[in-house]
Amino acid sequence: MELGHVVVLAGGLSYEREVSLRSGRRVADALRALDIPVELRDTDATLLDALATDPPDVVFPVLHGASGEDGSIRDVLELVGVPYVGARPDACRVAWDKPTAKAVVARAGLSTPESVALPKEIFHDLGAASVLDRIVEHLGLPLMVKPTRGGSALGASVVRDAEQLPAAMVGCFAYGDTALIERYVEGTEVAVSVIERGGEPYPLPAVEIVAAGGRYDYTARYDAGDTEFVIPARLSPEAAERVTAAALTAHRALGLRDLSRTDLIVTPSGEVHFLEVNVAPGMTETSLLPRAIAAAGLELSHICRDLLIQRFT
């Protein structure tokens, strides 16, 4: 089947706009290498008219952050009747909200660190100090604080000392109105991407992330250069099987489609904990999914093309 017109959607107005633009260019270049005509577009006021006037065969959304991952752009693509790569809107909404996604995968049998999700209003109403005290009392230390919705570790921080908690909360609320405060599990940080081929989810090799200074934050992800990736992750054979199984379970339980990336922590004793899942994983030159594709001996361009063809009806 020949693709005549593909739109890659990148940019948007989220905090991750810059990353998305980089991801979008990477996907567009990969497709152009196969002589597939690609139009790289931002989500702006001209988008719907353009989609109506010259409907593409398929859209490849590479939008990170809100609207790209919360299902809303995909809802609009459904409204205009254009096929697209990736999860359906309802599944995106569940995956995008970290506490909801954690609850779903927990029901499917995965372990996930104990947590509480609280909007900033509750701290205003009940008094921050007493709420934070209860959190530390209940969950202990260290804690991971991050916005319930969002990616690229923006607004996320590890709290090892209770005195750092108010600052971490303020940093988190800069990026969203609800905070997920999670028991921080020490271990090996691993990302497992899943791509669907012929309707079947296919797990890619696990990528181990070793961040210099132990923080895989925004800078470590995209700029600092000192983050090391090891593929496949240095895990026992049993743990390696468990992380792959966990990513497949998350992909299926959340009803995802085409591609996803699940972030996990593996404790020294080999326990696997689900942290979060991404429905529009980063595709930049430093991102995890393209690394996993390459490590599996596959070509990013072929994978992108195959995903498009799957949706081209």
Partner 1 sequence: MELHSRTDAYIGRYAARAAGMVPSEIRALFAVADRPEVVSLAGGMPYVSALPLDRIGEMIGELVARNGAQVLQYASAQGDPVLREQICEVMELEGIRANPDDVVVTVGAQQALDLVTKIFVDPGDVVLAEAPSYVGALGTFAAYQAEVVHVPLDDGGLIPAALRETLERLRRDGRRVKFLYTVPTFQNPAGVTLTAPRRAQILEICAEYDVLVLEDNPYGLLGFDGEPMRALRAYDSERVIYLGSFSKTIASGLRVGWALAPHSVRAKLVLAAESAVLCHANLSQLAVREYLATQPWREQIKDFRVMYRERRDAMLDALETLMPKGCTWTRPSGGFFVWLTVPEGLDTKAMAPRAIAERVAYVPGTGFYSNGDGRRHMRLSYCYPEPHRIREGVRRLAGVVEEEIRLRDTFGGVRRDDRAPGGVDTPGPGLV
User: What residue numbers does the annotated binding site for Mg(2+) cover?
Assistant: 263, 276, 278
Residue of 14, 16, 20, 67 marked catalytic: 16
Strands (E), 76-206: 115-119, 143-147, 157-159, 178-183, 188-197, 200-203
Closest approach of partner 1 to the CB of residue 285, in Å: 9
Q: Which is nearer to partner 1, 221 or 257 (CB)?
A: 221
Burial state string for 177-213 with b = 16 or more CB within 10 A and e = fewer than 16: ebbbbbbbbebbbbbbbbbbeeeebebbbbbbbebee
Q: Given phi > 0 = left and psi -120 to 50 = alpha, else beta, which region is 255?
A: left
Contacts of 188 (CB under 8 A, 6+ apart): 208, 233, 234, 235, 265, 266
User: Rounded distance, CA 103 to CA 213, Å?
Assistant: 31
Contact 305, 34 (CB under 8 A): yes
State the Cα–Cα distance between residues 231 and 279, nearest whole angstrom: 21
Of 87 and 118, the one with the shorter C-beta distance to partner 1 is 118
**Residue 234 or 311 with smaller CB distance to partner 1:** 234
59 close to 82: Cβ distance less than 8 angstroms: yes
CB of 13 to partner 1, least distance (A): 6
Q: What does each C-alpha distance from 138 to 145, 169, 219 come to in angstroms?
A: 15, 17, 31
Is 241 noted as a catalytic residue in this protein? no
Which residue number, 81 or 225, has a Cβ lying nearer to partner 1?
A: 225
Distance in Å, CB of 127 to partner 1, minimum: 8
Residues that bind partner 1 (CB under 8 A): 13-19, 21, 44, 120, 123-124, 128-129, 152, 154-155, 157, 164, 166-167, 169-171, 173-175, 215, 217-232, 234, 286, 291, 295
If the CB atoms of residues 166 and 270 are measured against partner 1, the closer one turns out to be 166
Q: Is 301 in the active site?
A: no
- Choose, from 23, 67, 152, 260, the residue flagged as catalytic: 152
Q: Quote the least distance from Cβ 109 to partner 1, whole Å.
A: 29
The DSSP letter of residue 283 is -
**Which residues make up each annotated binding site?**
263, 276, 278
Minimum CB distance to partner 1, residue 128 (Å):
5
Catalytic: 287? yes
Q: How far apart are the first and last CA of the chain?
A: 10
Catalytic positions, written as ranges: 16, 152, 287
